[in-house]
Amino acid sequence: MIQFGRRLKQLRGKRKLTQQALGELADVRQATISGLESGATQRVEFGALERIARALHVEPAALFEKPTDR
């Protein structure tokens, strides 16, 4: 889940969004975004992942790709 968190943070950074802003766009709590990025949150509903992906303008599968080193 750590790679997922790194990828989420990377995608969020590319869109220049704070955790709070992404949470508002995706209709999820900022704490959920934080937990996903840090690996503290291990479970999340697929609907939430879809909303996060939509807010980041990517397909849900892109959230699971290996993070780049940039």
Express each pLDDT in 9-47 by its tens digit. 999 999 999 999 999 999 999 999 999 999 999 889 999
The tokens describing 30, both together, are 């900022």
d(CA 56, CA 9): 11
pTM of the entire predicted model: 0.89
Average pLDDT estimate for 41-62: 95
Q: What CATH number labels 2-64? A: 1.10.260.40
Distance separating alpha carbons of residues 39 and 54, to the nearest angstrom = 21
